Structure 1
Amino acid sequence: MKVLLLEDEESIRGFVRINLKREGMTVLEAETGEEALELARREGDVDIALLDVMLPTISGFEVCGKLRAAYPRMGIIMLTARSQEEDKIRGLELGADDYVHKPFSPGELMARLKALGRRMKTENVDGAGNHAEPGNRASRNGKVFGELTFYPDQRRVVKKGTDIVLTPTEYSILRLLLDQAGKSVSRDDILNEVWGRHYVGDLKIVDVNIRRLRQKIEDEPSQPKYIQTVWGYGYIWKKEEI
């Protein structure tokens, strides 16, 4: 696994570097946001980016947004000393998959990295599948839900003939909801299944990713047709398979 590490404090960067290399990971180091973006562009095959938030020039938030726009399937974890809820939500809304608060233990960081890596393992899509024909209940490779066609073997989602690019986390949530189509899934269950049962974090990470998913697959995200809220509990994929 190739990891881009953006951290302006050398002591923290060295600590993280040592632990990543112990796990056999390739580490690309950057002290500034500009350097991180250039490394990502030059390398082209970064798996996960670890981004410090507080930087001397452009912030980790800005780097996160630029990386997500350029590399939709890259894993992104924010490293932050901030505990304010609005900062966590801002990073997630910009496309981060997770966040780790400083100070953190090597075990916690590696657990988060490995969990995200597992979500990404089967994210490589060969693009060779055929689209389901409109009106069919299911094609040879695709399962149709209204205007959406889901190709589980290829980790593809197509809407009206156009591929929807999802982050590894968004895809994992969507897959879980589709597997339980017509059944309510609690926020706790989503958190456990996607981030892992030992995840220590805020349930709002689920809500923010649901919001991002709706923006990609719903015609009117504020009035969702597919992913509906079960108030006080979680979410349900409204089963309208045709």
Structure 2
Amino acid sequence: MILAITAFGLVWTLPQLVLHSHGMEGHYRVPAVIGWFVSASLGMHLLWRQRRWILWGGTSVLFTILLALNLGPTVARFSYYTADSLALNQMTDYLVQHVNKHQAIVISLNPITHQESAFSLQSHLNFVGLNSPIYLLPVYQTEHQQNHPLVEQLITNAGFAEFADLEKLAANEVGAIIGIDAPNEITQIPSWYLPAEWERVVFSAPYYTLSLKKLDSVKLNNFDYTILTPIEQ
């Protein structure tokens, strides 16, 4: 049993440390979930090897019940984070191909967008070789006019020291604005931003759940990343 607990700690912790070191823990949760299954399997194997049949049988029944009750949500959670990863990779590939290294990337602080992307995106872009400076653009929907809870954290983060210099940028120095669905959503408009000169690009991946009644996957929604890019003149 001690071996099972130790194995669980290693299997669950090591992938998280690796992903955390690359700033990706907000996107890639699958290794953590896999860790639970692997650890449970190791524990069941040890019970079998030690011939503790009653305990093994009871644990098997318990896991079967839990799996049946949580199968749909578990599949949906796996699929959701997989779609997140796929959409993020699509967007990253696009940025690498279309944003020059000297151009800045602006991330909007929008309460309805994926907040964790602001933390991990810079590390993710650097990981694939795009070392563009990252700036922050506060964006608030009409129903979310209060201060964004992440603003202070992001401003004090060392990776976002350029926050105060956003107005100093020129239009040709910005390669993309991430997290904007439409030009009219920008309420605090920088002097270099003209809506007519930007176009909307969406990167999307579907995610699903499992229907036990139909014994088939059912689409829940799409996971989207939206950016604005300069229109080539």
The structure, 1 or 2, with the larger RCO (C-alpha pairs under 8 Å, 6+ apart) is 2
Q: TM-score, normalised by structure 2?
A: 0.28
TM-score of the superposition, structure 1-length normalised? 0.27
